[in-house]
Amino acid sequence: MSRRGSLVVTEVRRRIMLNELAPGAVLTELGLAAELACSQAAMREALLRLEGEGLVRRAGHQGTTVTDLDAETAAEILDLRRRIELRGARRAARRAMAGDLARLVGLQVAMDRAASAGDVWGLIEQDIAFHLELFQIGGLDALTPILARCILHTQRFKLWAPWHHRPLVETAARHRVLIEQLRAGDAAGLSRELALHLDTMVDQASAA
Amino acid sequence: MSRRGSLVVTEVRRRIMLNELAPGAVLTELGLAAELACSQAAMREALLRLEGEGLVRRAGHQGTTVTDLDAETAAEILDLRRRIELRGARRAARRAMAGDLARLVGLQVAMDRAASAGDVWGLIEQDIAFHLELFQIGGLDALTPILARCILHTQRFKLWAPWHHRPLVETAARHRVLIEQLRAGDAAGLSRELALHLDTMVDQASAA
DNA sequence: TATCTTTGAATTAACGATAATTAAACGAGA
DNA sequence: TCTCGTTTAATTATCGTTAATTCAAAGATA
C-alpha cells in the first residue's frame, strides 16, 4: 500500500484543504514534484485527479492554479449536498444491515480518537468517510462521486472560513445520533437529524 | 488545438458513449494506446479523465473497465440534472446578455447542421455544449462540472437505450423555444420549457 | 483428492529525457 | 512614445524504458 502516487495526491489535497496552498496559488508540475520528492509524471497524475475534484484548474502551458471559493458557491453546493444526502439517507434507513452499522461505528470511534488527539485533518477525513459510507448504504452508487465532491467542497469552505471553532470532540459526537436513527430504521428521523446536522454546519459558517 | 491528448480522450469518450466500447469491457492502457497510435502515458491521462467523468472504473492492477448503467441510476441522475439546470436557468433569464444569446444561436445552428447531416454524435456534442452554455449564463460556476457529468450520463443512457428514435432535426429544433424564452427574460417560462424539454427526454426513454 | 506454493504472464506505476507550445520580455522601426 | 515582430524562458505534453505489483494457473506435497 506504499503507493507513491496515492500518497502524493493525498498530500497535495490536504495542503489545499488546509489552505497551506491558498486559492490562486500557481503550482508547477516540476516544482511541486521536487518539493514532494516524486517525478513530474506522478505529480501530473495527482494534479489531474485534483482537477477532476475541482480543487485546481489546469490552464494550458501556464501552470496550474488552486481554485477560488466564495460563500455563495459554498451555499449552492451545500444545498445540493443536502438534497443528495437526504435522499440517500431515507433509502439507507430501509436497507441498513448489521455490517453497515458496524462500519459506521468503526468510523465513529476513529473520529472520536482523532478529535481527542486534536487531529483536525484526521477528523475531516473520517467525517467524509462516514458520510460517504452512510450514503452508500442507500445504494445510489452513481451519485456517490458527485456527493463526494460536494462534501469535499463544503468541508473545504468550512475550513477556509475563519470562524470554524466548534470543539472537535463535539463535532465527532454529533454523528452518534445518526447511527442510532439508522439502527432504529427510522427514515424520517434519520433524514431529520441529518438535515439538522447539515444546517448546524451552515449556521456555523454564516454566523459571522 | 491539435493537442494529441485531447483528441485521444475525446475519441475514447465517443466510443464509450456510442456503445462501441460496451459496459464491462476491460481496457488496457497499452492495448488502447496501440489501437489509437499514442503512448501509454497519453492513454493513461485519457483514462484518468474518463474515470473522473464516471465513464470508466480503474481498479488496481486488473485493467480499466467501462462502467455499467441502469435505468434507476439514470433516473436519479436525470432528477439531479433537472434540479441543477432549472435553478441555473432561472438565474440565466435575469442575466442574459446579447453575447450569450448569440453564442446559443450559434450552437443552435450547429445542431441544425449536424441533424440534417445525420451526424448523431455531432448533434449530441452540440446539445451538451448548448445546455452547459445556457447554464453558465446563470453564473453558478462551481456547479458546472457536476452538471456536465449529469448531462453526459443522461445522454449516455439515452443513446444506450434501444428506443431513442426521435428524428434528429426535431431534437435540434426543440432548443429554439428555450432561446426565445431566454431572450424574453421570462424566468418562469424558460424553466417551464426546460422542464418540459427534460421530461420529453425521460418519456422517450421510459415509454417502453 | 485437496491445499499450498511457486512460477509466469499481464498490467499498472514510475522515471528520465526530449519535443512542442505558450506567454512574456525585449528591441527595432515608425 | 507606441506598436509590432522576434527572441527567450518557462511549462506542459509526449515518448521509450524500467520497475513493481497482481492475478491465475500449473505443479508439488500431504
Q: Flag the least confident range among A96-100, A111-115, A154-158, A164-168.
A: A164-168
Q: Give the pLDDT score at A204.
A: 63
In the predicted model, what is the mean pLDDT of residues A42-50? 91
pLDDT tops 70 at residue A58 = yes
- Residue B38, CB, strand D, below 7 Å: yes
Do A149 and B146 lie within an 8 Å CB cutoff?
Answer: yes
In the predicted model, what is the mean pLDDT of residues A141-164? 91
3 state SS of A25: coil
| Three cell numbers written together for A41 | 509524471
Spatial distance between the Cα atoms of B127 and B158, rounded to a whole number of angstroms: 13
Q: Give the pLDDT score at B111.
A: 97
Q: Give the pLDDT score at B178.
A: 97
Residue from A140, A152, A160 whose CB has the most chain B CBs within 10 Å, to mutate: A140
Question: How close A140 gets to chain B, by Cα (Å)?
Answer: 7
| Three cell numbers written together for B66 | 467501462
- Residue A27, CB, strand D, below 7 Å: yes
Q: Give the pLDDT score at A203.
A: 67
User: A114: number of CA atoms within 13 Å, CB side?
Assistant: 19
pLDDT < 50 stretches in chain B: 1-2, 208
Let me know: does B34 contact B137? Beta carbons within 8 Å. Answer: no
Dihedrals phi, psi of A124, to nearest 5 degrees: -60, -50
Residue from B140, B156, B160 whose CB has the most chain A CBs within 10 Å, to mutate: B140
Numbered residues of chain A with Cβ closer than 8 Å to any chain B Cβ: 41, 44-45, 48-49, 51-54, 69, 73, 76-77, 80, 83-84, 140-143, 145-146, 149-150, 153
Spatial distance between the Cα atoms of B48 and A48, rounded to a whole number of angstroms: 8
Write the pLDDT tens digit of every residue in A97-113: 999 999 999 999 999 99
Distance of B60 CA from D20 C1′ (whole Å): 13
Q: Give the pLDDT score at B173.
A: 92
Dihedrals phi, psi of A20, to nearest 5 degrees: -70, -30
User: Residue A27 is inside which H or E element, if any?
Assistant: strand A26-27
* Residue in A83, A145, A150 nearest the CB of B54: A145
pLDDT tops 90 at residue A57 = yes
Let me know: does B52 contact A49? Beta carbons within 8 Å. Answer: yes
Write the pLDDT tens digit of every residue in B31-62: 999 988 888 988 998 999 999 999 999 887 88
Spatial distance between the Cα atoms of A120 and A111, rounded to a whole number of angstroms: 10
Q: What is the pTM of this model?
A: 0.93
Spatial distance between the Cα atoms of B152 and A145, rounded to a whole number of angstroms: 14
In the predicted model, what is the mean pLDDT of residues A50-79? 92
Q: Give the pLDDT score at A161.
A: 84
Do B141 and A73 lie within an 8 Å CB cutoff?
Answer: yes
DSSP line for A51-86? HHHTSEEE-TTS-EEEPP--HHHHHHHHHHHHHHHH
Residue type (1 letter), B117: A
Residue of A nearest to B80 (CA): A84
Q: Give the pLDDT score at B59.
A: 85
Contacts of A145 in chain B (CB under 8 A): 54
Write a three-state SS string for B103-151.
HHHHHHHHHHHHHHCCCHHHHHHHHHHHHHHHHHHCCCHHHHHHHHHHH
Let me know: does B56 contact B152? Beta carbons within 8 Å. Answer: no
Q: Give the pLDDT score at A6.
A: 81
Numbered residues of chain B with Cβ closer than 8 Å to any chain A Cβ: 41, 44-45, 48-49, 51-54, 69, 73, 76-77, 80, 83-84, 140-143, 145-146, 149-150, 153
pLDDT tops 80 at residue A163 = no
Spatial distance between the Cα atoms of A92 and A140, rounded to a whole number of angstroms: 10
DSSP line for A109-136? HHHHHHHHTT-HHHHHHHHHHHHHHHHH
Write the pLDDT tens digit of every residue in A80-97: 999 999 999 999 999 999
Confidence of residue A207 (pLDDT cuts 50, 70, 90): low
Spatial distance between the Cα atoms of A161 and B40, rounded to a whole number of angstroms: 42
CA distances B21 to A141, A190, B67, Å, are: 21, 41, 10
Q: Which residues of B115-124 are buried (b: 16+ CB within 10 A; e: fewer)?
A: beeeeeebbb
- Residue B45, CB, strand D, below 7 Å: yes
- Residue A184, CB, strand D, below 7 Å: no
Spatial distance between the Cα atoms of B203 and B198, rounded to a whole number of angstroms: 9
Let me know: does B178 contact B195? Beta carbons within 8 Å. Answer: no
Nucleotide nearest to B6 (CA to C1'): D13
Contacts of B149 in chain A (CB under 8 A): 146
CB atoms within 10 A of CB B77: 24
Q: Give the pLDDT score at A201.
A: 80
Let me know: does B194 contact B147? Beta carbons within 8 Å. Answer: no
pLDDT tops 50 at residue A120 = yes
Strands (E), chain B: 26-27, 56-58, 64-66
Spatial distance between the Cα atoms of A179 and A197, rounded to a whole number of angstroms: 13
Contacts of B78 in chain A (CB under 8 A): none
Q: Give the pLDDT score at B200.
A: 85
Do A49 and B52 lie within an 8 Å CB cutoff?
Answer: yes
Helices and strands of chain B, counted as H and E runs: 10, 3
Let me know: does A42 contact A8? Beta carbons within 8 Å. Answer: yes
| Three cell numbers written together for B25 | 469491457
As a dihedral over the C-alpha atoms of residue B178, residue B13, residue B49, residue B72, rounded to 10 degrees, the angle is: 70
Confidence of residue A1 (pLDDT cuts 50, 70, 90): very low
Residues in chain B: 208
Residue of B nearest to A140 (CA): B73
